[in-house]
Each structure stands twice: as structure tokens, then as C-alpha cells.
Amino acid sequence: MKLVKFKAILVLFIAAILLLAGCSSSSSGDKTSDGKVKLRFATWDVGDDVSLQQDMIDKFNEANENIEVVLEAYGSEYDTKITAGMGAKDAPDIMYMWNYPQYKDALEPLDSYIEKEGAEYKDNFYETLWNYNSADGQILGLPVGYTTHVVYYNKAIFDEAGVDYPKSGWTWEDLQETAKKISNKDSKVSGFAFSGKPDPYDFEMFLWGNNTSYVDKDGNLNGNLNSKQSVEVFEMFQNMAKDGSAIPTEGSGSQEMKSGKVAMFVYGAWGLTPLKEAGIDYGVVELPSFKGGKSVSILSSSGVSISKNSEHKEEAFEFLKFWTNEEANKERIGFELPVLKSVVESEQLEQDPVKSVFYSMLEKSDGYTPASFIVEDWSKVSENLTQTFESIFNPSTLQNPKEALDSAVE
Amino acid sequence: MQNISKKRTSYQLINKKVPYLFILPWIIGFLVFTLGPLIFSLIMSFFNWPITSEPTFVGIENYKTMFTQDPQFYKSIIITFKFAAIFVPLNLAIALILALLITQPLKGMKFFRTIFYLPAVVSGVAISIIWGWIFNSEYGILNYILSLIGVEGPMWLVDPKWAIFTIVIASAWGVGIMMLIFYTNIKGIPTELYEAAAIDGAGPLRQFFSITIPSITPTILFNVITSVIGALQQLALVLLLTGGGPLKSTYFYGLYVYNNAFKHHQLGYASANAWFMFIVVLLLTMVIFKTSSTWVFYENEVKKEGKKGRRKK
């Protein structure tokens, strides 16, 4: 009897495994019943952005009789899901992508595809964006959107304090002075807010501005992360927190900015709509520069990539082209800065008082390579850096920057 | 005669199969989604699997690295056990007190019962967001309330000393299910016992320790085990509320495993981590079960004795 039971369970187990295997093989790269090539397309967007994307995909499917693109919206679980998909050899054919170094082995290099489209096609994208959509010298994605970082300022607070709005070409000293003038303990207004546990990826731009970076070309932290210029940057931020002219925030600072109690903070284009919706009358200005340094920003960019395991790469590239063409850039203009020079020109974004700032920052930020593209195991390094930076800015520790960075290098 | 007995056995056989047929969906679900992945992860714990490329067999290398070269492994274990040590007794005490309160025959008790249970229905994500607002040291409502009574609240989510308590508080908020289990058990205690005790002159405190507590020991055992397991596997809250910070003070073991798998793409290593915790939980549960014979008192024991007593009368 016991044996029978065991056999029954074994049979069930095998049946279950077969069932699973059946599921996974049918979902990838197959043709639909009417002979169309089916492409799965994964996006990280949520809410209204997804419905806009679905509308665009519907247009593509109508225009291309032999291809059917299916949108899969993974939302905040995006990385977990595509990671699991790659592990199961069942990744979507087309994926939104930003962290190229980490996923490079699972992505199809696109250089040969792009070459076929001609030099003019490639040149219409901003050059800097190609660097951010590559890894190990190969292009792995077509640029979809980007943002540089700028300083947002709350006009109402500036008016009340009787201080002039900041102008491009300003320095960090100017910012500190302004912040000091505006900060007011009684009304709980802070002149400047910065993240108390900054994402190391973003924070590197301040080091670039002071002519240094986390690592050298070979990925060595020592002598770079703990260089004199680097320590200066950390000291400057720490001092602002110490003298009360700035507050280190728990998040990015956007929450504090929305509350109307913060005069300035550094953020990407993500803040444009939410801050407006929160009723903040804001202006944006280029990042300040260090003495003897430059105003330079890191890019947070997104692109679309093709899975190495996709069975229909040609069709997938057709879709990539559609997704990054002029029309698509214009469709997305409400929530994504266009990446094509022709669109920026036709939409006159260079004349826009807000959006033009992001483009001038983009032009100033060419030629820098983030450490995440150089260091082999960036996710581990990044985790350690996060902790180090936190220990410098956390009000309950406020560790000496020089010591903290020296020990981080080890 | 023989015929009849044969019929009976075949009938019995069908009878025995039918229940299995009914639970077949669960069996399939268990095999496909629980046992299958479990075995798969055990196999994977002996591989180096950077997910975007092929896995390679490394033997016990993952376990060796874990025990000898990864300081974060030990740190995370200590933090997790510290959390469990604070959380489990506190959670049990709160659940028991609430359960006692809602068994009182007072007006509007149904309302309070619902209120106390409500957090258990809210999803972990929503809980994290709500507590994130409450604990915010600049604008959070908790520190505002504390300031009204003249207390300067700590920087809950910023100060490494306090962060673990924020997780304890936020976790304890979901005490409703445990409270409900206690509640149904306490409700089931025969009132004669209390009446008899009252006649014998036992006060409420004595009644609680001599009647209520011994009657609900099986439930206490169940709640201890589930909350120990729950505490050791706590992930959602730290993932969403603190992200392991500040300064890794809430970098629980669950988060450590999760990050190794999905952030650092070391799936084999993460599987080894997960199996270690599985064995720890297994051993801990066994130890609790072993000790339970000395302090858990089952109802059928009570009943037998009760019947004997009546006969003597």
C-alpha cells in the first residue's frame, strides 16, 4: 500500500513537471495561431504611462501585419521579474533597460543592426546617450529617455526671503550662501535638502564636478574615492548638514520639497510633474560648479534591449526602431525627455525655460563614465558605498569623511 | 460471503482514493510551487549561478564562503535573532492582552474586535508606506504626537539604534490573526471553571493564571512557533520600510538572501543562504516541540480527568 502511494505521488510529480515545462516552452518566441510572430515586451512603467504605451503598441500591431507585440507591465518588481525570466531562459524578447553592465550577458549587441540604418540614423541621437546604453564597448539598447540632474528651487520661498533666484554658472559656494540666508529655524524652512543615503550611482556626479571619480580606468577605488578632491565634496555636504543650512533627507528629498519647506534640492526630470501637482511653483537651474571644476551631471537613462535568447531578433529590432522614432518621442513628451535632436528642434525644447536646462546639462556631461560601467561587481561595491555615505551623512553618526572613505577603500 | 468482502474492499479502495482526488489541486500546487522549487534550490545551492549566464557546479563552495568569508552573513543572523527575541514575546503578550480585552462582555465590543483585526487584512506594502509616513522624523505624525506631550521623539528611521524597534512596532501592528486565535480559544473555555474558581475565592488574576493560561497552552505553542518562523523570515517590511538601513541596522536575513539573489545575481549563493535558514528554523521548531510536552496541556487530557471527576460525584 505504501509503495502504491509513493508511486502515485511520483506520477503526480512528473505530471506536474511536464505541466510546468509545457507552460514555459509555449510562452517564448512562438507564433500566434494566425501565423504572426509574437513578441513579448516588458516595461517598468505603471499607471497612465502603461496605457499610453499600450496605445502606441496597438498602432504598431496595426501597421505590421506579421508581428504582434504583447506588453507586460512588471511595475516595481521589474528587476526581480526579468532576472527570474533570464534565469529560466524565458526573458521577454524586448525589455526596458538601464543597468546594462549587470545584464549585459543576457542582451543582444545591436551595433550591426544600427550600422545597417546608416550614420544619419545614429547621429540623430545625442552622443552621450550611446555611452549610457552600452557595456564593454557594445551598444546594447536604443535610447528611449534620459534625465540629467538639476537644482529645483521653490520660487515662493525665495520671494519671501527676498533672495534672487539662482542663475546658471553659479558655484557651490553661492548655493551654500543662499541656503544659509534662507534657512529659518522658526518657520522650519531649510535652504537645501540632499539625500542622507544617496544612491552612489547618482552621487558620483559631484565628484566629477570636482575633477575626480570613484575609480580610475582599471576600477581601483584607492586614490580616487579617498582622494583629496573627493573628501572635499563629502566634507562640503556634511558641513551643510552640520551648520543647519541643509537637511539630509530619508528619501530623495522630493517629499520634503513637496511639503513646501525646502528651498532647493537636486533631482532629475522625475520631479517636473509631481511637484507641479503638489502646487509648488518651482524653477530649475543647472548644477553649481566647484572652484576650478565644472557643472556636470550623471545621466539616468533608459533604453530598449533585445534578449539574447529571443527567436525573432529582426522583428524585435523593427519594434525597437518604432519605439524610438520621432513620433514615439513626441508621444512620450509628457513624461520623458526626447532623445532625438530632430524632435528637440521641432518641439523647440531649447527655448523651453525648464526643459532646456536638462539639455544644456546633457551637453556639458559628455565624456564621463560612471563607475558602475567600470567596476566588475558594482552591485556589491555600491552596497558598501551606500553604507559609507550613510555613515557620513547620518545625523547620529556623522563620521569623518576622510576616515570613512579610507576604510571604504579597504 | 467471499464476494461480499471483495466488493467491500474495492468499495473501500475507491473510498480511500476519493479524498485524494478532492485535494488533488492542492497536491499539484504543493509539488509544483513548493516541493519542486525547494528541491531545485537545494541543487542550485551547489552551483555558482550568475543568472544571466550558465550555472557551474562548485560543490560546497557557497557554504564555505558563507561561513568563512562573508561578515554580512553573521551580522544579518545576529540582527534577525535580535529582532525575533524582541518581537516574539512582545507580540504574544499584546495578542493575549487584546484577546482578553475583546472577550469582555461590553457594549460595542464587536467594533473593537473589527478595529483590532483590521491591520491583519491590510497588505504588507500598504503597511510599510503608512508606517514610513508615521515614522518620518521631520514630518511624521508619531513624533508630532510625542512633541505634544513634551517628548522629543527619536529619529526612528534614521538612527541605527532605533530602527529595529520601528520594525518591531510595525510588525506588531499585524497582531490581529494571533489575537483572533487566542480569542476563539479563550471563548471556548467552559464558564463553569471560572464560576467554580470564583466560589473557591480565586480573584481575576488567579483565574487568569490557573484557568485561562493552562487552557490555552496548545494555542500558545502554535502562536510561538508561527511567530518565530514569521520573525526569522521577515522581509516585506524591511524591504519596503527601511531597505535594510539605516547603516544596515535592519539588514535582516531575509533581505540578505533576497539581495544576494536579485540584486547581486548570485542565485546559487542565495539558495545556500536560504537552506541554512531553513535548517535553523527546522531545528528551532523541533526544540520548541520537544519542550512543549512539559508545558502544553491538551484538551483531551482535561476532558478525561473531568469525566472521572463527575463519576466520583
Interchain pair B160, A106: CB under 8 A: no
Q: What is the mean pLDDT of residues B66-81?
A: 94
**pLDDT band per the 50, 70, 90 thresholds, residue B4:** low
- Which residue in B31, B155, B263 is closest to A12 by CB distance? B31
* Residue B7 confidence (pLDDT): 60
* Residue B5 confidence (pLDDT): 57
Of the CA atoms within 13 Å of residue A302, those in its CB half-sphere come to 19
Beta carbons within 8 Å of B172's beta carbon, 6+ residues apart: B87, B90, B91, B94
Alpha carbons B242 and B136: distance in angstroms, whole number:
11
pLDDT in tens, B13-57: 667 788 888 889 999 999 999 999 999 999 999 999 888 778 899
- Please report the ipTM that was assigned to this predicted complex: 0.74
* Chain A: residue whose CA lies nearest to B139: A256
Asked whether the predicted pLDDT for residue A31 surpasses 90, the reply is no
Q: What is the mean pLDDT of residues A126-147?
A: 94
pTM recorded for the entire structure: 0.79
pLDDT in tens, B93-103: 999 999 999 88
Asked whether the predicted pLDDT for residue A29 surpasses 60, the reply is no
Alpha carbons B235 and A355: distance in angstroms, whole number:
40
* Residue B19 confidence (pLDDT): 84
Give the residue from B232, B230, B254 showing the smallest Cα distance to B242: B254
Interchain pair B36, A17: CB under 8 A: yes
Mutation choice for A interface testing from B27, B30, B51 by most A CBs within 10 A: B51
**pLDDT band per the 50, 70, 90 thresholds, residue A8:** low
Alpha carbons B195 and B209: distance in angstroms, whole number:
15
* Residue B13 confidence (pLDDT): 66
Residue of higher predicted confidence among B302 and A142: A142
Domains in chain A: boundaries: 28-146+300-363, 150-298+376-409
Q: Which three cell numbers stand for residue A105?
A: 550577458
Q: Which helix (H) or strand (E) holds B269?
A: helix B267-295
Interchain pair A396, B155: CB under 8 A: yes
Interchain pair A377, B246: CB under 8 A: no
What SS3 state is found at B233? coil
* Residue B292 confidence (pLDDT): 87
Percent of chain A past pLDDT 90, that is, above it, reads: 71
B51–chain A nearest CA distance, Å? 5
Percent of chain B past pLDDT 90, that is, above it, reads: 42
DSSP A351-386: G-TTHHHHHHHHHHTTT---GGGTSTTHHHHHHHHH
Residue A371 touches partner B, C-beta closer than 8 Å:
no
Residue of higher predicted confidence among B254 and A17: B254
Interchain pair A390, B138: CB under 8 A: no
Alpha carbons A166 and A150: distance in angstroms, whole number:
12
Asked whether the predicted pLDDT for residue A314 surpasses 90, the reply is yes
What SS3 state is found at A193? strand
B66–chain A nearest CA distance, Å? 15
* Residue A351 confidence (pLDDT): 92
pLDDT in tens, A69-85: 999 999 888 988 999 89
Interchain pair A391, B35: CB under 8 A: no
Give all strands of the β-sheet with A246-249 in edge-to-edge order.
A246-249, A190-195, A262-267, A150-154, A282-285
* Residue B53 confidence (pLDDT): 79
pLDDT in tens, B165-220: 999 988 888 888 899 999 999 998 998 989 999 999 888 889 999 889 988 999 99
Per CATH, the homologous superfamily of domain B71-312 is MetI-like (1.10.3720.10)
Q: Which long-range contacts (CB under 8 A, 24 or more apart) does A216-219 make?
A: A217/A374, A219/A371, A219/A374, A219/A375, A219/A376
User: How high does pLDDT run on average in chain A?
Assistant: 89
Interchain pair B263, A379: CB under 8 A: yes
Mutation choice for B interface testing from A396, A397, A399, A407 by most B CBs within 10 A: A396
CB contacts of A375 in chain B (<8 Å) are none
For residue B246, say if its preceding peptide bond is cis, omega within 30 degrees of 0.
Answer: yes
Give the residue from B61, B96, B69, B53 showing the smallest Cα distance to B219: B96
DSSP A146-176: EE--EEEEEHHHHHHHT-PPP-TT-BHHHHH
Q: What is the mean pLDDT of residues A266-279?
A: 93
Reply yes or no on domain A150-298+376-409 having CATH 3.40.190.10.
Answer: yes
For the segment(s) A28-146+300-363, the CATH number from 3.40.50.720, 2.20.25.90, 3.20.20.150, 3.40.190.10 is: 3.40.190.10
**pLDDT band per the 50, 70, 90 thresholds, residue A32:** low
* Residue B299 confidence (pLDDT): 63
CB contacts of A83 in chain B (<8 Å) are 51, 261-262, 265
**pLDDT band per the 50, 70, 90 thresholds, residue A12:** low
Domains in chain B: boundaries: 71-312
Interchain pair B157, A250: CB under 8 A: yes
Within this chain, domains A28-146+300-363 and A150-298+376-409 share the same CATH topology: yes
* Residue A67 confidence (pLDDT): 92
* Residue A14 confidence (pLDDT): 54
Interchain pair A387, B247: CB under 8 A: yes
B158–chain A nearest CA distance, Å? 7
pLDDT in tens, A344-385: 999 999 999 999 999 999 999 998 999 999 998 898 899 999
Asked whether the predicted pLDDT for residue A25 surpasses 70, the reply is no
Asked whether the predicted pLDDT for residue A5 surpasses 80, the reply is no
